[in-house]
């Protein structure tokens, strides 16, 4: 896995042919499990906004992992003990951040831009070292990302991070890519292969009940076999002490004001220390991947010999 540093991306040539080719090349590197790295913040973020974010400490570490912003609802969650004015300011700031970073990503990665789904953004004001979180929520243990409440149905989790701390780096560890892990671990004890959806009386009944539950407002999540497997893999890695200690590791120190982009469902990663980061997530549909055969979904489907996202 490598860090690909981009120093001098020319945003003014965005719509040109060379920029499109370059965009395809960037997508290929991301899908291989490399990290795109910008030494300076490559989108607009005012000094005033950055200074305001640095004044924000999150009280009560227990329930909310981070402060999240939902762009489609223009809603902020995870705030503890804020005045109305402060909450409004943070919401406006996150709205602007989300728009700017999305515009930047669209110029950088044209093959994805027309089709991705804009997911949540987050602000991470807490020191990551020694955070008292439940094991499965801990981010200092190596893992691939899988969202328990927002299954992607085969879509890929692409995230862009910015370290806005004035002086300290954000320290990450990365390890193997998901395709390699799946080939080695899927089907071993503790990590069974997913089974495709089968049309049976029982499964029809189960899905019927789940749909009725959702209509009645119950927060039931319908996961494809792929999503269920990715969530199991996330838990398996965090719970596997032997894997955590013995896997090959690379350490990255992302300096203040740097930005990095990574498929976090591909690259096993953990954050060891650092405070104050901004992050925006995009769900990239499988159809627009430039190396679809390398995706976790395709690798798994090859092993199983059937579709793992097709609904019955
Ligand atoms: C993650 O594990 O997805 C979070 C990494 C970070 O906050 O730097
Ligand atoms: Fe993660």
pLDDT of 37 reads 98
The domains of the chain are located at: 3-177+249-286
Q: Which residue's C-alpha comes closest to atom 1 of ligand 1?
A: 139
Q: Which residues surround ligand 2, an ion (CB under 5 A)?
A: 145
d(CA 312, ligand 1 centre) in Å: 34
What is the phi/psi pair of residue 259, to 5°? Answer: -130, 140
Is the pLDDT at 244 greater than 70? The verdict is yes
Ligand 1 atom nearest to 159, measured from its CA: 3
Over residues 226-250, the mean pLDDT reads: 97
pLDDT tens for 54-112 read 998 766 555 567 899 999 999 999 887 778 898 999 999 999 999 999 999 999 999 99
Over residues 272-301, the mean pLDDT reads: 98
**Helices 178-185 and 296-304 meet at what angle, rounded to 10?**
20
pLDDT tens for 175-185 read 999 999 999 99
**Homologous superfamily of 3-177+249-286 in CATH?**
Jelly Rolls (2.60.120.10)
Ligand 1 atom nearest to 139, measured from its CA: 2
The model's pTM is 0.93
Q: What is the DSSP letter of 264?
A: T
pLDDT of 3 reads 96
Q: Which ligand is nearest to the CA of 126?
A: 1
Band of pLDDT at residue 202, cut at 50, 70 and 90: low
How many angstroms separate the Cα of 145 from the Cα of each of 87, 121, 124, 167, 262?
28, 15, 17, 28, 11
pLDDT of 52 reads 95
Q: How far apart are CA 259 and CA 277, in angstroms?
A: 10
Q: Which ligand is nearest to the CA of 139?
A: 1
User: For the chain, what is the mean pLDDT?
Assistant: 91
pLDDT tens for 123-162 read 999 999 998 899 999 999 999 999 999 999 999 999 999 9
Ligand 1 atom nearest to 145, measured from its CA: 3
Share of the chain above pLDDT 90, in %: 77
Band of pLDDT at residue 201, cut at 50, 70 and 90: low
Query: Nearest Cα to 11, choosing from 19, 2, 3?
Result: 19
What is the phi/psi pair of residue 231, to 5°? Answer: -70, -40
């Amino acid at each position: 896995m490598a860090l690909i540093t981009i120093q001098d991306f020319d945003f003014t040539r965005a719509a040109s042919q060379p920029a499109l080719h370059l965009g395809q090349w960037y997508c290929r590197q991301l899908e291989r499990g490399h990290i795109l790295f910008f030494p300076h913040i490559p989108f607009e973020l005012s000094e005033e906004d950055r200074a305001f974010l640095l004044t924000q400490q999150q009280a009560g570490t227990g329930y909310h992992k981070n402060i999240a912003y939902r762009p489609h609802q223009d809603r902020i969650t995870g705030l503890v003990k804020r005045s109305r004015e402060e909450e409004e300011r943070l919401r406006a700031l996150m709205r602007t951040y989300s728009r700017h970073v999305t515009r930047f990503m669209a110029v950088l990665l044209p093959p994805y831009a027309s089709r991705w789904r804009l997911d949540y953004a987050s602000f991470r004001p807490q020191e990551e070292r020694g955070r008292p979180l439940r094991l499965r929520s801990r981010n200092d243990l190596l893992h691939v990302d899988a969202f328990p409440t927002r299954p992607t149905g085969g879509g890929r989790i692409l995230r862009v991070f910015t370290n806005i701390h004035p002086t300290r780096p954000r320290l990450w560890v990365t390890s193997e890519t998901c395709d390699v892990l799946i080939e080695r671990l899927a089907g071993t004890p503790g990590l069974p292969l997913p089974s495709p959806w089968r049309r049976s009386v029982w499964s029809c009944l189960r899905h019927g009940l789940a749909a009725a539950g959702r209509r009645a407002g119950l927060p039931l999540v319908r996961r494809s076999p792929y999503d269920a497997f990715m969530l199991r893999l996330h838990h398996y890695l965090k719970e596997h002490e032997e894997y955590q200690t013995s896997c090959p590791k690379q350490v990255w120190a992302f300096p203040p004001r740097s930005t990095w982009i990574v498929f976090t469902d591909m690259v096993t990663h953990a954050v060891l220390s650092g405070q104050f980061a901004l992050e925006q997530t995009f769900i990239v549909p499988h159809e627009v991947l430039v190396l679809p055969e390398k995706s976790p979904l395709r690798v798994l489907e090859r092993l199983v010999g059937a579709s793992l996202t097709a609904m019955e």
